């Protein structure tokens, strides 16, 4: 009778062990997806600020139309990149599209802020000062959200690559997740934009 219980106990022990590994991988995957959702919240906040910033600057920068249009176009590209990444957080292609849109937006916003520096009336505008302050604050929150996301992705990728979790990950389709990276040729993206009014 005991000879039957020992193999059954081993099968049950192995099953609980495998289920524990699987649940740990699911938890780690959900953690990085949640961390990406925080990036989404902050980027959406930034996207909402940009039209207000452009509208405020429009009256002062009438002959700088190209700059304003570039900001709006870059915002559209960044929103598109975010949509792709939201559909598949961690997917390397989607994360590359997000990063590309972010680079475009960072460049366009930087040009807008440089142009705005040349207009004292715009610099003194209370709405413009408030919007740029909110933008700077949001940029800092985006940086913190990116770091939290990258930490969660690293924990997930470590868990899925380490033995014995790698056995479960490979059999149940836990694909590697991509981090949000900043290209080496874009060091200015490592810092929040400097807004001086």
pLDDT digits over 11-63, tens only? 899 999 989 999 999 999 999 999 999 999 999 999 999 998 888 888 777 77
Rounded mean pLDDT of the chain?
Answer: 85
Give domain status of residue 169, yes or no. Answer: no
- DSSP label at 191? S
- Tell me the CATH number at 53: 1.20.1440.20
* pLDDT tens-digit readout, 103-135: 999 999 988 888 888 888 877 788 888 888 888
Q: Number of folded domains in the chain?
A: 1
Q: Is residue 7 part of a domain?
A: no
Residue 63, in any domain of the structure? yes
Residue 34 lies in a domain: no
- 197: pLDDT confidence band, cut at 50, 70 and 90? very low
For residue 39, what pLDDT is reported? 92
pTM over the 0.85 mark: no
> Considering the domain boundaries, does residue 72 fall inside one?
yes
Does residue 132 form part of some domain? yes
Joined tokens for residue 100: 């590309």
* Residue 166 CB contacts under 8 Å (≥ 6 apart), including other chains: 160
Query: Any idea which residue has 């990116």 for tokens?
Result: 146
pLDDT of 185 over the 70 cut? no
User: Would 171 be classed as within a structural domain?
Assistant: no
192 pLDDT more than 60: no
Place 7 in a pLDDT band, splitting at 50, 70 and 90: confident
For residue 73, what are the domain limits?
41-152+179-190
* pLDDT at residue 196 greater than cutoff 60: no
């Amino acid at each position: 009778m005991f000879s039957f219980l020992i193999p059954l106990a081993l099968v049950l022990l192995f099953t609980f062990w495998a289920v524990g590994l699987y649940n740990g991988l699911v938890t780690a995957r959900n953690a990085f997806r949640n961390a990406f959702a925080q990036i989404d919240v902050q980027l959406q906040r930034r996207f909402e600020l940009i039209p207000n910033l452009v509208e405020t600057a429009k009256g002062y920068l009438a002959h700088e139309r190209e700059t304003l249009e570039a900001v709006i176009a870059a915002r559209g590209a960044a929103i598109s990149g975010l949509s792709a990444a939201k559909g598949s957080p961690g997917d390397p292609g989607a994360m590359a599209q997000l990063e590309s849109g972010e680079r475009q937006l960072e460049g366009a916003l930087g040009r807008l802020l440089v142009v705005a520096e040349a207009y004292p009336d715009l610099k003194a505008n209370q709405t413009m000062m408030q919007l740029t302050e909110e933008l700077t604050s949001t940029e800092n929150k985006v940086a913190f959200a990116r770091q939290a996301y990258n930490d969660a992705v690293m924990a997930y990728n470590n868990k899925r690559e380490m033995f014995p979790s790698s056995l479960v990950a490979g059999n149940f389709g836990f694909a590697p997740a991509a981090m949000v990276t900043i290209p080496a040729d874009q060091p200015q993206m490592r810092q929040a934009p400097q807004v001086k009014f």
